[in-house]
Structure 1
Amino acid sequence: MGVKSKEIVENFYISLFKDEKGTLDNYLHPNATLSWYGTTGFKKLDFKEILKLRDDLGKNFESLKPEVEKIVEEGHQIAIQFTYHVETIENPDEEMPLAHFMAIWELKDNKLFKGVQISQLGEEVDESPWA
């Protein structure tokens, strides 16, 4: 798997919001599932539900970009820790943290196949936990 697998996971989260043609097809396996533990509870998403989530984010924010802190690979699993920063439609001149994420993905056919993600609402962090 190597560097390419890490890049697949990182590029998925970087390009998720950009609405690039074929983004989900490029990174997500058609039978992908994501188990997401968030502040609003547990959600199990499939390919179509991830697409809907991406579309909803696009309607609510001017921009959304991840700040990747760490990516680790072990065997067939890749873990990523990042924060999404957003500019809201109401205040496009101020960027603020939306949420902090940890996700672990298994790849199949060089695409994201099975993921588990945990998120917490964003807050300003003065220092990286890896510093």
Structure 2
Amino acid sequence: MSAKEIVQKFYQSDVLLEPDTVKEFLHPEVILEWHSTRGFLKLKKTDILALSSEFGKAYVRSKSRITHIIAEDNLVSVRYSHYVKTIENPREEMLLAHFMVIWELKGNKLYRGYQMSQL
């Protein structure tokens, strides 16, 4: 499977709500550097899995709508909008944020991520 295909599978519907599935995509030494509207976060594997677990508790559906994806060797850039449905209102889809991320893969796993998000 190519680096681009791995990243596309990672952003398929509901994957981010399932920590066990997310864990399969992550390199043991993964680091995600995230510049968000709340500031800078540097997340390790346990942090990413904890975030996925929290998402799974708050949302019943998760969908990433990819608008751009570019791959070169082991680097994949993705621009997408992340939509969710909450437990309180499962019929209404709401925008969580817009994202731009560059993933470096190592051993067919997500190894280094550089992400920016905007509400």
The Cα shift of 1:13 comes to 2.2
Residue 48, structure 1, aligned to residue 46, structure 2: yes
Shift of the alpha carbon at 1:24?
Answer: 2.9
State the identity as a percent. Answer: 45
State which of 20, 36, 39 in structure 2 corresponds to 1:38: 36
Tell me which amino acid in the other structure corresponds to 1:16: L
Shift of 1:16: 2.0
TM-score (norm 2): 0.91
1:96 Cα deviation (Å)? Answer: 1.5
Please give the secondary structure, in 1, of the residue aligned with 2:69: strand
Runs of 4 or more above 3 Å deviation = none
Tell me the alpha carbon deviations over residues 80-110 of structure 1, each in whole angstroms, 9 at most, x when there is no partner: 0111111112211111211111000111111
Alignment partner, residue 16 of structure 1: 16
Q: Which of 66, 84, 101 does residue 68 from structure 1 map onto?
A: 66
Among 14, 27, 30, the residue aligned to 1:29: 27
Q: What is the match of residue 97 of structure 2?
A: 99
RMSD of equivalent CA atoms: 1.4
Specify whether residues 24 and 93 from structure 1 end up closer, same or farther in structure 2 by C-alpha distance, changes over 3 A only: closer
Q: Which protein has the larger Cα radius of gyration, Structure 1 or Structure 2?
A: 1
The one-letter code of the counterpart of 1:114 is R
Query: Any idea what the Cα deviations from partners look like across 1:17-72, whole Å, max 9, x if unmatched?
Result: 2x27x423421101000000001100000011000000011111121111111110
Matching residue of 1:127:
none
Counting strand residues as a fraction of each chain, which structure ranks higher? 2
Structure 2 stretches lacking a partner, 5+ long = none
Query: Whole-Å Cα distance in 1 between the matches of residues 42 and 66 of structure 2?
Result: 23
Instruction: Say which of 84, 87, 91 aligns to 2:85.
Output: 87
Q: Report if aligned partners of 2:16, 2:55 keep a CA contact under 8 Å in 1.
A: no
Q: Which amino acid aligns with 1:47?
A: K
Residue identity in the other structure for 1:41: G
